[in-house]
Amino acid sequence: MPELQNCPNCDKLFVKALRPVCDACAREVEEKFETVYTFIRKRENRRASIEEVHEATEVEIDLIMQFVREGRLHLSQFPNLTYPCEKCGAKIREARLCVNCRDEINEGLQAGEKQKAFEDRKRDRERARYQTYSALGDKVRREKP
């Protein structure tokens, strides 16, 4: 039995296949891609930004960004098709975050792990110290006449 699902775009039921949206929506996306590609391929438009492409073609910025992200619009040919990093707004051409923000997040994760290890060690040390103190206390008490 083919698996049916609602198209996330138009809510119509469709057979879930390779595409995440229904045929009609997929076709629409393809048409929009063609519109964008036809526009940007022209020599005078190659340096257009996403906003300029959007204004000229009326294709949604999100969709143009998706084409860029999917690598369908090659940035070696269209150098200004960048979009803002979701964290700092830097111009990027892949993923959702710029390299700096991705590094920062990775470092943050690593720092988090380090912090946890540090706290574990600190707790162990405190426990050890406490045991030493109480041992010492016993000794002092014992040594008192």
Q: How far is the CB of 46 from Zn ion (least distance, A)?
A: 26
Name which of 68 and 98 has its Cβ closer to Zn ion. 98
Name which of 65 and 98 has its Cβ closer to Zn ion. 98
Name which of 40 and 98 has its Cβ closer to Zn ion. 98
- Provide φ and ψ at 72, rounded to 5°: -80, -25
Say how far apart CA 25 and CA 10 lie, in whole Å: 7
Using CB atoms within 10 A of its CB, is residue 67 exposed (0-12), middle (13-18) or buried (19+)?
buried
Q: How far is the CB of 131 from Zn ion (least distance, A)?
A: 48
Residue ranges in contact with Zn ion by CB under 5 A: 7, 9-10, 21-22, 25, 85, 87-88, 90, 98, 101
Name which of 12 and 116 has its Cβ closer to Zn ion. 12
Report how far apart, in Å, the C-alpha atoms of 87 and of each of 62, 94, 100 are.
16, 14, 10
Q: How far is the CB of 101 from Zn ion (least distance, A)?
A: 3
Q: How far is the CB of 124 from Zn ion (least distance, A)?
A: 38
Apex 62 CA angle, 109 and 3, nearest 5: 85
